Amino acid sequence: MSAQGGTGAANGKLKVAKYWASSCGGCDISLLEIGPHLLELIEAADVVFWPCVADFKYEDVAGYPDGYIDVCLFNGGVRSSEQEEIARLLRKKSKTLVAYGACAIDGGIPALANLTTPSEIYDVVYHRNPSLDNPDGVEPAPVFETACGDLHLPHLYPQVLRLRDVVEVDYQIPGCPPQAHQVWKVLQAVVAGQVPARNDAVTVGCDDKVVCDECPREKRQVRIGGFKRPHLAIPEPDWCLLEQGFVCMGPATRSGCGALCVKANLGCRGCYTGSNGVEDRGTAMIGAIGSIIDATTEERAQEIVGQIVDPTGTFYRFNLASSTLKGRR
């Protein structure tokens, strides 16, 4: 894809953009994982904004006419004032805005910071970090005076927001990151003109079943007598991990990834958004576990469930910002 700035892309080509907000960068890499299909995309589209790979400026985007960008893939949650500003700018300049990946859709792992506050985060990072040398206790400030003028820095929001909490989203492509075969399926539809704009946050690039439906492991319909941590025990091959006592989010997670974690002998982590009709994935998973634990008394049930380390980070690893709880209150 050729980088086009200022006045626009070549005639007859789609104009696409990609932006990262509060994310790790894996979603940007995932677009490259479509491999040879990149050549097909190059023929059909020009990149008009992608800070991860080229030195675009916000002023470039602001200078585009409204609706100039055909499709914008926005990855990452909204954690700062800068990210909200760019989200609103890209919404204005894009015909179709896509929440790309778990962080943009559900807050992702960055949203686990919603369990604390910005001041507590600053305290750990700038004052109590064991590798830090900061005797003056300096912290980032929204305005910093320099000899050349005032430097204005983005301020941190109290919580990580989903993209759809800030602007209207047309489509969502789940995953941490989205899988290449699903990404290419969506891009093919975009290139073919089969993806209409403004389609009310429809989730694409996944399947309508749950991970358990595409998991090849045997379900023996046994009850769970206890939970194990994956680094302390080796699962039996070909048998359902959850039935063996390894936490697996498969029952509450939409399929489409190919059950990659499960096939690697690791329980599903739940990155591919919730299955149809599931509003709170953590609650759904807790209900699923409650129905299959081997307990006849409340005390025994508490003993088994108590073996799950960090339940919030386990059941809401990718979706705290979409949960009923959302974070610290």
* Residues 48 and 146 grouped into a single domain: no
Domain CATH for 171: 3.40.50.700
Tell me, yes or no, whether 38 and 170 share the same domain. Answer: yes
Domain housing 130:
124-156
Q: Which helix or strand (DSSP H or E) is residue 89 part of? A: helix 81-93
Instruction: Decide if 199 is inside a domain.
Output: yes
Supply the pLDDT for residue 201: 82
How many domains are contained in the chain? 3
- pLDDT score of 61: 96
Same domain, 198 and 140: no
Model pTM score: 0.90
At 55, list the tokens. 């030195």
pLDDT digit string (tens) for the chain, length 329 residues: 444 444 344 458 999 999 999 999 899 999 999 999 989 988 999 999 999 988 999 999 999 999 999 999 999 999 999 999 999 999 999 999 999 999 999 999 999 999 999 999 999 999 999 999 999 999 988 898 889 999 999 999 999 999 999 999 999 999 999 999 999 988 888 888 888 878 888 899 888 899 999 999 999 999 999 999 999 999 999 999 999 999 999 999 999 899 999 999 999 999 998 877 777 899 999 999 999 999 999 999 999 999 999 999 999 999 999 999 888 76
Asked if 249 and 210 count as a contact pair (C-beta separation under 8 A), the reply is no
Considering the domain architecture, whether residues 34 and 71 belong to the same structural domain is answered as yes
> Same structural domain for residues 134 and 164?
no
Q: Is 5 inside a domain boundary?
A: no
pLDDT of residue 259: 92
Give Cα separations from 324 to 27, 60, 99, 143, 278 (angstroms): 26, 38, 20, 35, 12
Same-domain pairing of 305 and 258: yes
Short-list 99, 114, 44, 103, CA closest to 76: 103
How far apart are the C-alpha atoms of 141 and 158, rounded to whole Å?
A: 15
